[in-house]
Amino acid sequence: MIPAKVEDVFIEITTNLKGVILKISPGTFAKNNFKLQTSIYKSCDFLEGVLEALEVSKKFLLEGMILVSNKKEYYVDIEMCKCDINVIILIHDRTKVYKFISQLNQNRNDLFFVKRELAEKNKELANLRKIADKANEEKSRFLAMMSHEIRNPLNVILGYSAMISEEQVNNTVKEYSKLLLRSGNNLKVIVNDILDLSRIEAGKFKLLESAVNLKEISENSIRNYTHQNKNSEVTLALEFADNVPTFVFADGVRINQVLSNLLSNALKFTQKGLVSLKVKKISEDEKFVHLSFLISDSGRGMTKEQTTTIFEEYEQNKQSDYRFFGGAGLGLSIVKRLLKEMNGKISVESVLKKGTIFKVDIPFIKIKSKTDLAFTTEKKVLAKSLKGMRILVADDDGLNQTIVAHIFKKEHVILTQVKDGLEAFNALETRVFDIVILDIYMPNITGEQLVQQKHNYKKKNSTIPFLALTANTAPEDLIRYKSIGFKDVIGKPYTASEFLNKIHLVLD
């Protein structure tokens, strides 16, 4: 006796070798499908051709066959055994098991196709990224080129404006040249900001950290803006807390850029009162010292809404700000990004018509030993006289040559000016100089090629300092120029004092 449940999932059928049903026993599964003396192929078409092919006395199993009974599909396993005159067929309903297998199988296959689609999408994304990277590189190259092309004429504008202001001219002309200088300097800031931003966006921005004197940077910032501030109703002040370490590891140029940007903004928007910089220690652990720079002013202040957008690019709170103060509205955005690179942060609190406080927090790496400070003592530029010095300047731009000549005239140097690389090469082979200043892009021989041929020059000229005079001022350019033999780089546009400072530095 077969238990009812088991009976329901089995049926055993005996057929002759041609598939005619001879016996049905035991089991009740799909019983209505099978009738004595009819062909089993009516219900089990998959057995057609199989029964004949079976080997005698050898059990055979067909798994996962589909059998339709009462218009319903069942998954069945078929066990067969053939003897000389007939075939015994055991049909086992395994629908429930196969349903699970089916689901698992479907999931596995679906997963495969999803993974495949994902891989294709990733490939597409990688391609798109490549295109975007290339576009970004193109943009950076374009900006670098544009910067170079702007810096050269800008140098001429600023240089000639400075020269005009030194001449005996009437007040109107003096005023005009002052405005020219101001606009030129604004343009210089914009070009630098755009380049900084593109470098940060392209992931090419790197901090150049060394031990720096924070106190000196803070003092210089305040001194610089005190000097520039023409408004006698605004006072600048510095508070440098006693417990703040004088030296820390940082990128001094960028710290100065952050402070200068914030102080410059504070001064722009303050008509009366105080602009101050306070440097405080927040906390300290074994490795880091967390410092806070508070730049506060008693200026026009901002609304809460304005404080939420001021760190966005090209943002100026009033359209008229652009006309009045210039700039592209990139300064604060760059400050924020620079601070992100330094793992620092910036926040702002402001009250309309009362003033604004920018709070900058930066974790600095501490200076632990004296050896860290070995190379930090900034070179004090000795204002050594250049009188009588033999200086060779090669530049194919006549306007720039005039500016250089004007600066050197006051220094009473023995100046030799040539208009291309070949003339410079000939001069270096035949005459002795104390300093050589080379433009980079020159006809015949470039500045880069010239500096790399030092060994070919008149013996004494092979040991003197060479300076690059160029509008290529990206950090990677400066590193490259120094690596191929330039002692230093004078970046365009330059002021007379910046120009002379560089020369004094290399002579020192």
109 contributes a contact to another protein by CB under 8 A: yes
The pairing of strands 466-470 and 488-491 is: parallel
Site for another protein in 110-169 (CB under 8 A): 110, 112-113, 116
List Cβ neighbours of 202 (8 Å cut-off, separation of 6 or more). Answer: 136, 137, 139, 140
Residues 246 and 377: their CA atoms lie apart, in Å, by 12
Kindly tell me which residue out of 61, 135, 351, 432 binds another protein, with binding defined by CB under 8 A: 61
Angle at 162 between CA 442 and CA 267, to 5 degrees: 115
- Answer yes or no whether residue 45 interacts with another protein by CB under 8 A: yes
- Cβ 121 vs Cβ 144: under 8 Å: no
Q: Is 16 in the site for another protein (CB under 8 A)?
A: no
Integer Cα distance of 201 and 130 in angstroms: 15
Residue 64 in the binding site for another protein (CB under 8 A): yes
401 in Cβ contact with 417 (< 8 Å): yes
387 near another protein, rule: CB under 8 A: no
Closest Cα to residue 65, out of 43, 86, 33? 43
Q: How far is the CB of 486 from another protein (least distance, A)?
A: 53
Stretch that binds another protein, among 106-114, 149-157, 339-347, 488-496 (CB under 8 A): 106-114
C-beta of 145: minimal distance to another protein in Å? 39
**Residue 228 in contact with another protein, rule: CB under 8 A:** no
Applying CB under 8 A, among 75, 269, 358, 425 the residue interacting with another protein is 75
CB atoms within 10 A of CB 403: 23
Residue 69 makes contact with another protein by CB under 8 A = no
What distance in Å separates the CA atoms of residue 464 and residue 389, rounded to the nearest whole number?
12
- Contact residue for another protein among 48, 175, 312, 508 (CB under 8 A): 48
Nearest distance from C-beta of residue 98 to another protein, angstroms: 5
Q: Which is nearer to another protein, 50 or 506 (CB)?
A: 50
Only one of the segments 98-106, 227-235, 264-272, 414-422 lies at the binding site for another protein (rule: CB under 8 A); that segment is: 98-106
> Which of 17, 22, 54, 189 is close enough to bind another protein by CB under 8 A?
54
Interface size with another protein, residues (CB under 8 A): 28
Binding test (CB under 8 A) with another protein, winner from 16, 26, 96, 102 = 102
Q: Which residues of 2-16 are buried (b: 16+ CB within 10 A; e: fewer)?
A: eeeeeeebbbbbbbe
Instruction: Return the closest-CA partner of residue 153 out of 120, 187, 196, 107.
Output: 187
Residue ranges binding another protein (CB under 8 A): 45-46, 48-54, 60-66, 75, 98, 101-102, 105-106, 108-110, 112-113, 116
